[in-house]
Amino acid sequence: MNQSNASPLLEIEDLSVRFLTRDGVVRAVERLSLHVYPGETLSIVGESGCGKSVTAMSILRLLPMPPAKIESGSIRFDGENLLEASEERMREIRGDRISMVFQEPMTSLNPVMTVGRQISESLELHRNLSQRAAKSEAVAMLDLVQISEPRRRADEYPHQMSGGMRQRVMIAMALACDPSILIADEPTTALDVTIQAQILDLMLQLKEKIGAAIVFITHDLGVVAETAQRVVVMYAGRKVEEASADDLFEQPLHPYTLGLMGSIPKLSTIEGAADARTVLEVRDLKKHFPVYGGLLRRRVGSVFAVDGISFEIRAGETLGLVGESGSGKSTAGKSILRLIDPTAGQVVLDGDDVTRAPARRLRALRRQMQMVFQDPYASLNPRLSAATIVAEPLRNYGGVPKNEIRDRVIALFERVGLTGESMVKYPHEFSGGQRQRLGVARALALEPALIVADEPVSALDVSVQAQVLNLLIDLQQDANLAFLFISHDLAVVEHISHRVAVMYLGKIVELTDRRTLFEEPLHPYTQALLSAAPVPDPRSRRRRIILQGDIPSPINPPSGAFHTRCPVVEPRCRTEVPVMKTVAAGHDVACHLHQ
């Protein structure tokens, strides 16, 4: 789009938004000015609380009034000041001229209406179509966003679809009336890397097809680099920098932007622990879940969530376990800790067989293996103070005199970078990064040999994520800890891991050292994962292998994405799994392992 020959489609001038709270006035947006041209993609980037989403909600006048209050400024869309428009006029604009795709589709879609009905409702309202014509158009929109069997899917409810499919439904609904502007508020944050790649490509393709401008709100700089033409950086409610994507990544000017760029996970220089003792051995571990069906709910089969995986972790080493949702990563972590009992296989921790340990012995072994969970808010007791949460393992397992527990808790708080004053606070009084530090402190309380970290930074902003990752690395080096680091974020895994295991449908399809995996992936599935990861550099455009079908899972294998090529084990393969082939954009990609 040649902006010099066009007038802005959307102009925000000196916008200021306040929230009146019990603790005083919160200045959410402060004198913000930006503009969006027809057909362009503008990214608004910044951390949680910087005012990105408040800006988006202000455009559509969706802020709750009160406690929110737009104190000053103007928002002009196609020359019309939306802040002066009546509520009736705004209902005409919302979903028709300006549409929005929200971060979490499950909470944005109506759970008691079929997805086809939810799309057709907008068409009936804004396009005056009959119910039959609107249903037909809704099916066409589902087909446009590449949902298979759209006529059947139109009669399904949101809970019957995966996260990726629900996000496609949201996009279909947003684009149904051919809007001039599409606002996408963190639309891929909760998705796996391959599904994220599909959604990003889909949005850009549809933008070219209908000519809409996109306002892309995100904190992921890799997504910004792959999608944006211009970028607005926000901090504490203010715009601190605006530039083209190329200029911003090549030469950021503001200190905050420089800090964001510096927080991007990069290949670290941590070395492996080749001569250290083996802390954890996992041998042919399996976990199968029964599937019941029919009127009498009889067992009709099993889901092979974990299907014979083997690896080991040494003291001072981090093994990254990567894969998409449904690949079996979290189930593997829980099976290793005996939070769920494995179906078969063996887990050996420092010479002790965890899988066959009786209850009393297992309790003793739990001192040596702890877990850091993905959502610290959900894993911390909201009724206990921070000090009580960290002290709880010490009281439950003993070994520390009661008069020394408080001193141990203070030391743990200092170790994870929390102040002594925060000990009396409750979980809701901490930020996301502080809650995760609290979870790490609790895991360290018993001085374990192994920590299983299940997506510990996936919900955090990039700078807070960097702080927690650096904390884990420092703690590992200080205490010679073994880490099993479970994640779908390849950049994070590359930064923190010594070796990496890739899981697909319950199996480990590739296992090697970090540098080799990222520089020379052998398995086609690993190649597809790496090609789908966004790169925080607008000039670097890798060839992307798009996985066809929906999220791969043991119970719902992807149609047409991966098929077993041969049952034999190729000597060059790094693990004993069937070699597979991939379909990319409808074309077979030859498996080079057999060339």
| Domains by residue range for the chain, with CATH | 39-63+80-262 (3.40.50.300), 278-594 (3.40.50.300)
Is residue 552 scored above 50 in pLDDT? no
pLDDT band, residue 564 (cuts 50/70/90):
very low
Is residue 157 scored above 60 in pLDDT? yes
Highest mean pLDDT among 166-175, 356-365, 559-568: 356-365
Is residue 559 scored above 50 in pLDDT? no
Mean of all residue pLDDT scores within the chain: 81
pLDDT band, residue 379 (cuts 50/70/90):
confident
pLDDT digits 0-9 by tens, 287-302: 998 888 777 778 877 8
The sign one gets for the Cα dihedral 163, 167, 169, 170 is: positive
pLDDT digits 0-9 by tens, 501-534: 999 888 999 999 988 998 888 888 888 888 877 7
CB count within 10 Å of CB 251 equals: 10
Sheet holding 298-314, edge to edge: 298-314, 278-293, 344-349, 352-353
Is residue 117 scored above 50 in pLDDT? yes
Residue 94 DSSP symbol = B
Ranges 141-145, 162-166, 417-421, 582-586: which has the least confidence: 582-586
Phi, psi (rounded to 5 degrees) for 260: -60, -45
Is residue 374 scored above 80 in pLDDT? no
pLDDT band, residue 580 (cuts 50/70/90):
very low
pLDDT digits 0-9 by tens, 2-21: 455 678 889 999 999 998 87
Helix axes 386-397 and 432-444, enclosed angle (nearest 10): 20
Please tell me the total number of residues recorded for the chain in this structure. 595
CB 413 within 8 A of CB 420: yes
3-state secondary structure 531-548: HHCCCCCCCCCCCCCCEC
How far is C-alpha 372 from the geometric centre of its chain's CA atoms? 17
CA gap 524, 544 in Å, rounded: 12
Residue for token pair 């001085």: 447
CB 164 within 8 A of CB 199: yes
Ranges 120-129, 158-167, 364-373: which has the least confidence: 158-167
Closest CA to 587 of 531, 545, 533, 525: 545
pLDDT band, residue 577 (cuts 50/70/90):
very low
Pair of tokens at residue 480: 């010679």
What spatial distance separates the first Cα and last Cα of the chain, rounded to whole Å?
45
pLDDT at site 270: 56
Q: What is the pTM of this model?
A: 0.72
CB 457 within 8 A of CB 492: yes
pLDDT at site 14: 93
Share of the chain above pLDDT 70, in %: 86
Ranges 363-367, 401-405, 540-544: which has the least confidence: 540-544
pLDDT at site 595: 31
CA gap 179, 94 in Å, rounded: 9
pLDDT at site 47: 80
Considering only residues 33 and 273, tell me which one the structure prediction assigns the higher pLDDT. 33
Considering only residues 567 and 251, tell me which one the structure prediction assigns the higher pLDDT. 251
In single-letter form, the type of residue at position 174 comes to A
Pair of tokens at residue 536: 């925080």
pLDDT band, residue 592 (cuts 50/70/90):
very low
Considering only residues 197 and 257, tell me which one the structure prediction assigns the higher pLDDT. 257
Share of the chain above pLDDT 90, in %: 24
CA gap 305, 330 in Å, rounded: 10
Q: Quote the strand ranges of 439-590, DSSP E.
A: 450-454, 482-487, 499-504, 507-513, 562-566, 579-584, 587-589
Ranges 264-278, 398-412, 424-438: which has the least confidence: 264-278
